[in-house]
Amino acid sequence: MTKPLRIALAGLGTVGAGVIRLLDTNGALIARRAGRPIEIVAVSARDRSKDRGVDIGRFAWVDDTTALAHADVDVVVELVGGSDGPALTLARATLGAGKSFVTANKAMLAHHGLELARAAEAANVALKFEAAVAGGVPVIKGLREGAAANEIERVYGILNGTCNFILSKMEAEGRDFADVLAEAQALGFAESDPSFDIDGVDAAHKVSLLASLAFGTQPAFADVAASGIRDVLAADIAEAASLGYRVRLIGLAESGPNGLFQRVHPHLVPVSHPLAHVTGATNAVVAEGNFVGRLLFQGAGAGDGPTASAVVADLIDIARGEFGPAFAMPADALLAQGPADAGDRLGRAYVRFTVADRVGVLAEIAAAMRDAGVSIESLMQRGVHADGSVLVAIVTHEGPERSVAQALERLRGSQSLVGQPLWMHILA
Reduce the DSSP state of residue 317 to 3 states and report it.
Answer: helix
Regarding beta strands 127-128 and 152-158, do their DSSP bridges make them parallel or antiparallel, or are they unpaired? unpaired
Write out the H or E segment, with its range, that includes residue 262: strand 259-270
Q: What element of type H or E holds 366?
A: helix 361-371
Amino acid present at 32: R
Strands 100-103 and 127-128 come out as parallel
- Encoded amino acid at 247, one letter: V
Residue 417 Cα distances to 208, 381, 420, angstroms: 35, 14, 7
State which H helix or E strand residue 5 sits in.
Answer: strand 5-10
CB of 350 closer than 8 Å to CB of 389:
no
Q: Distances in Å between the alpha carbon of 75 and those of 68, 274, 312, 425?
A: 9, 38, 12, 43
Contacts of 195 (CB under 8 A, 6+ apart): 201
User: 348 near 428, Cβ under 8 Å?
Assistant: yes
Cα gap 341→254, rounded to integer Å: 12
Q: Is 3 one of the catalytic residues?
A: no
In angstroms, how far is the first alpha carbon of the chain from the final one?
A: 52
Catalytic residue among 99, 128, 141, 206: 206
Angle in degrees, 0-180, between the axes of helices 234-242 and 161-173, rounded to the nearest 10: 70
Cα–Cα dist 412/190, whole Å: 33
Half-sphere exposure of 10 (CA within 13 A, CB side): 30
Q: Name every residue whose Cβ is closer than 8 Å to that of residue 278 and which is 6 or more positions away in sequence.
A: 158, 164, 168, 248, 284, 298
130 within 8 A of 310, measured Cβ to Cβ: yes
Measured CA angle at 300 (ends 296, 301), to 5 deg: 90
Q: Which amino acid is located at 264 in the chain? A: V
Q: Give the active site residues.
A: 206
